[in-house]
Amino acid sequence: MRTTLSGFWRLLAMAWRADRRKTIAATGLMVAGTVSGPLLALVLGMMTDAVISGQAGAAVWYGVAVAVLAIVSLTFAHFSYIFYQELAELAELEVVRDLILLTNGSEGIEHQERAEYADELTVLHRESRGLIGALESLFGMLGLSLAMIFTAILLAGLNPILLLLPLAAVPPLICGRWAESRIDRAKTETAEPTRIALNLFRLSTSARFAGELRVFRLRDELRRRHQREWERASRGLVRSYGAASAVRTLGQVMFGLAYVGAVLLVVREAITGRSTIGDVVLVIVLATQVNQQVTVAVTLLANLQRMGSMLRRLDSVRKLVAVDHPVPVDQEPPARLTTGIELRDVDFTYPGTSEAVLSGVSLSLPAGASVAIVGENGAGKTTLVKLLCGLYRPTSGQILVDGTDLRRIPAESWRRYLSAAFQDFVRFELLAGQVVGLGDVSRMGDDGAVIDALDRAQGSDVLERLEHGLRTQLGKSYTEGAELSGGQWQKLALGRALMREEPLLLVLDEPTSALDPLAEDRLFESYARQAAQLRASTGAITLFVSHRFSTVRMADLIIVLRDGRVVEAGSHDELMRRGELYADLFSLQAQAYR
């Protein structure tokens, strides 16, 4: 009941926040529409008595009133729809906005690693589509409550025993609530197969994966897996729907028995002369309405309960996203780096896993240095980068920025001083200029800044091939959208990373994986120039992850990771002199190019 009540109030508050006037109008129309029902029964009874006693004039007026009330009862609820439909759109926007803010506005991205978070989001997204039904239930419930009170008064006036009739509504209500809880539980239990099935569907229908799927002839395999997951989800849901229907029917049968009893009672009173024929008509119509009211109330309450659960899920997502702060967050990043960034005995384990990905990492990244991280696949390079960007926090140990613990710097502030191009960069389907300009939203419309960043990323040639230059729409979602090659998308992503002119940390995680060797060569010359400029202006550190040793050798400091540990660190010459892992890997790659 608490969930339903809190859902009721929170929905009302949402509607009120969205538009007060429309909330009042929707409530007024709905109340008038529903209360006209029992009023109609009353007037119908009076009309019957007037007809029987031969009062023709009064009977006509009652007849007119019956007609008006019938119209009000049939139409006002529909007029109300016009208002709450718009309110529902606004309320859904609020929920989706909350979800986007919660997911992307959080400090780290740990929560996005958790299956329970993904499950909650799957259900939430699906349920938020039901807001229109929920608002209908909200206003319907307001009207229905008044109608029920009015009906109860009329019944009590006829015979107090008839007050038991609304009481007979209790079993269907309890059964309805139980049924809804059962369905809600099944939705949570089947969220994982539903999510997997949806992912498989996206995978099977996305143009991006079409080539690989055909080459490996995966259509049937994916279809089978999709079917298996879908059936797993459906089985759970169908079982719950079956149980829910059986219990709801039981509740309705109990009410049906009470209804028959009530009608028999008044008919007997009419036979003994204690009631009029009008009273019998009144009870028959009212009892039918009580039955309807109860059925509708069960559905409306179920909707409200479902929305209450949805809003509660939103709260639990909020809790999953919340990060506790073991130290006060009270420092701002320096405007320029003087000593640099230091990692002290950093360990890291991904949420939901038990094996440490980084262990005892201690490093000093001097201000102004260009730093390369190398290591085999899975050595922990990207993880280290993510820690430095504040996307995750070390499980233990510290990251110090000019001596200040990174945990004491608000994530938002730190990110203002970062720039990055990631291995799995995003292909934003926007205008080409915006795809680059997003790197510094405040200068997104500044064509000069965008062209300059792209130029420094050695990506000007991408623009030359686009029909409308910076104004070309990219992406297959648009009919006229231009599609780019992997390397061209990557050049735009690199341009985006270079939009910020004075970052303290510029991260390039395999920035050239999709580029041809010539483009890569030119790019690194350009980086060397920029790193020198940044060194002079902000003492910024340029950090790049690469598997190409011809590029790596240019760095001031090379860090070699193996199984999450730093095994070597130094300049190219130093590491070559040591003749250990770096020297071996370098020689191996150099031989391959000979």
Smallest distance, Å, CB 585 to ligand ATP? 13
Choice between 440 and 509, CB closer to ligand ATP: 509
- Under 8 Å CB-to-CB from 185, ≥6 apart: which residues? 240
Choice between 408 and 565, CB closer to ligand ATP: 565
Is there binding between residue 354 and ligand ATP (CB under 6 A)? Answer: no
Is there binding between residue 379 and ligand ATP (CB under 6 A)? Answer: yes
Is there binding between residue 143 and ligand ATP (CB under 6 A)? Answer: no
Choice between 141 and 374, CB closer to ligand ATP: 374
Choice between 69 and 341, CB closer to ligand ATP: 341
Choice between 290 and 493, CB closer to ligand ATP: 493
DSSP 206-256: -GGGHHHHHHTT-HHHHHHHHHHHHHHHHHHHHHHHHHHHHHHHHHHHHHH
Give the helix ranges, DSSP H, for 272-380. 277-321
Residues 266-325 interacting with ligand ATP (rule: CB under 6 A)? none
Piece of the chain touching ligand ATP by CB under 6 A; list 71-79, 224-232, 268-276, 376-384: 376-384
Is there binding between residue 377 and ligand ATP (CB under 6 A)? Answer: yes
Please give the order of strands across the beta sheet that includes 418-421: 418-421, 505-509, 541-545, 370-375, 557-562, 565-570
Residues 383-402 interacting with ligand ATP (rule: CB under 6 A)? 383
91, 147, 300, 357: which one binds ligand ATP (CB under 6 A): 357
Choice between 380 and 390, CB closer to ligand ATP: 380
Choice between 302 and 357, CB closer to ligand ATP: 357
Choice between 357 and 498, CB closer to ligand ATP: 357
Is there binding between residue 347 and ligand ATP (CB under 6 A)? Answer: no
- SS3 of 478-491: CCCCECCCHHHHHH
Smallest distance, Å, CB 110 to ligand ATP? 9
> Which residue is associated with the tokens 């209500």?
173
Give the helix ranges, DSSP H, for 471-539. 486-497, 517-537
Choice between 383 and 488, CB closer to ligand ATP: 383
Q: What is the DSSP letter of 578?
A: H
375, 439, 503, 511: which one binds ligand ATP (CB under 6 A): 375
Amino acid identity of residue 187, one-letter, is K
Contact 457, 497 (CB under 8 A): yes
> Which residue is associated with the tokens 């060569």?
521
79, 201, 241, 350: which one binds ligand ATP (CB under 6 A): 350
Binding mask 83-122 for ligand ATP (x = CB under 6 A): ------------------------------x---------
- Under 8 Å CB-to-CB from 348, ≥6 apart: which residues? 356, 357, 358, 380, 383, 387, 392, 394, 395, 564
Choice between 159 and 396, CB closer to ligand ATP: 396
Piece of the chain touching ligand ATP by CB under 6 A; list 60-68, 145-153, 212-220, 381-389: 381-389
Q: How far is CA 281 from CA 58, 292, 316, in A?
A: 17, 17, 51
Smallest distance, Å, CB 384 to ligand ATP? 7
378, 403, 517, 579: which one binds ligand ATP (CB under 6 A): 378
Is there binding between residue 403 and ligand ATP (CB under 6 A)? Answer: no
Choice between 165 and 545, CB closer to ligand ATP: 545
CA gap 253, 172 in Å, rounded: 8
Task: Using the Cα atoms of residue 261, residue 262, residue 268 and residue 269 in order, give the sign of their dihedral.
Answer: positive
Piece of the chain touching ligand ATP by CB under 6 A; list 80-88, 114-122, 255-263, 373-381: 373-381
Choice between 112 and 299, CB closer to ligand ATP: 112
21, 57, 257, 353: which one binds ligand ATP (CB under 6 A): 353
**Phi, psi dihedrals of residue 188, rounded to the nearest 5°:** -65, -45
Choice between 51 and 356, CB closer to ligand ATP: 356
CA gap 180, 303 in Å, rounded: 9
Smallest distance, Å, CB 375 to ligand ATP? 5
Question: Beta strand 356-366 with 404-405: parallel, antiparallel or unpaired?
Answer: unpaired
Q: If DSSP codes are grouped into helix, strand and coil, which group holds residue 53?
A: coil
- Ramachandran area for residue 378 (φ above 0: left; ψ -120 to 50: alpha; else beta): left
Piece of the chain touching ligand ATP by CB under 6 A; list 377-385, 430-438, 452-460, 517-525: 377-385
Q: What is the DSSP letter of 4?
A: H
**Phi, psi dihedrals of residue 347, rounded to the nearest 5°:** -115, 150
Q: How far is CA 195 from CA 227, 232, 251, in A?
A: 13, 11, 34
Smallest distance, Å, CB 8 to ligand ATP? 39
Please work out the total of residues on this chain that contact ligand ATP, with binding judged by CB under 6 A.
12
Choice between 191 and 357, CB closer to ligand ATP: 357
| Two structure tokens written together for 126 | 């699906």
Smallest distance, Å, CB 325 to ligand ATP? 23
Contact 140, 34 (CB under 8 A): yes
Residues 466-495 interacting with ligand ATP (rule: CB under 6 A)? none
Q: To which H or E segment does residue 544 belong?
A: strand 541-545
Q: To which H or E segment does residue 543 belong?
A: strand 541-545
Is there binding between residue 585 and ligand ATP (CB under 6 A)? Answer: no
Is there binding between residue 382 and ligand ATP (CB under 6 A)? Answer: yes
Is there binding between residue 381 and ligand ATP (CB under 6 A)? Answer: yes
340, 380, 394, 439: which one binds ligand ATP (CB under 6 A): 380
CA gap 359, 380 in Å, rounded: 10
Contact positions vs ligand ATP (CB under 6 A): 113, 350, 353, 357, 375, 377-383
